[in-house]
Amino acid sequence: MREYKKILLARIYVMTFFGLAILVGYILKMNGMLGREDMNIFSEFHQGFQLGLTVLVEIIFIYLIIQYIRALKNPEELKRLYYAENDERMGMIREKSGGYIMFICAIAILIAAIIAGYFNETVFWTLVGCSLFLFVTRKALLLYYSQKL
């Protein structure tokens, strides 16, 4: 369990770093310190969409950080989380459906979309589409293999 605690702490640190980086980037953008003057300005829809993505990523990070902190404080919760992550059947289903790497890539692309959205609208929409495709594909594969295995 000590190794698992180290893993959870590493996850907390990584999510905290990226969550703060996204927040700082958005605050700088709102103050006009990030971006160039000669670029096309996003329409209100794009700005709202970007804000929604930013808030969604922040909410997910906060939820997971709270869940991990609670698990670190409560040994029974830590065991429950450990067994849920290391369940053999679910592990095989995750492995067949792309594992965590597909989810991590989708999140990374979504974060990149938020950052790229400050500079180029086309890149923003392309990255959002890629991330959405990865999320949908992973979910479809999870559902398929949950029924098959």
User: What is the pLDDT tens value at each position of the chain, 149 positions in all?
Assistant: 889 999 999 999 999 999 999 888 888 877 777 655 555 566 677 778 778 888 888 999 999 999 999 999 999 999 999 998 888 888 888 888 887 889 899 989 988 887 787 778 889 889 999 999 999 999 999 999 989 87
Provide the CA 39 distance to its chain's centre, in angstroms.
Answer: 28
Both tokens of 112, joined, read 């990149």
Would you list the domain boundaries of the chain?
2-148
Confidence at residue 113, expressed as pLDDT on a 0 to 100 scale: 85
Confidence at residue 78, expressed as pLDDT on a 0 to 100 scale: 92
The structure's pTM equals 0.71
Confidence at residue 107, expressed as pLDDT on a 0 to 100 scale: 85
Provide the CA 3 distance to its chain's centre, in angstroms.
Answer: 23
Is 36 in a helix, a strand, or coil? coil
Confidence at residue 68, expressed as pLDDT on a 0 to 100 scale: 94
- Please choose, from the candidates 86, 102, 114, the residue with its C-alpha nearest in 3D space to the C-alpha of residue 24: 114
Alpha-carbon Rg for the chain in angstroms? 18
The model's pLDDT over 18-27, given as tens digits with 9 standing for 90+, comes to 999 988 888 8
Provide the 10 A C-beta neighbour count for residue 76: 8
Confidence at residue 38, expressed as pLDDT on a 0 to 100 scale: 52
The residues, ordered by sequence, that sit 6+ positions from 9 with a Cβ below 8 Å of its Cβ are 72
Confidence at residue 85, expressed as pLDDT on a 0 to 100 scale: 85
DSSP 41: P
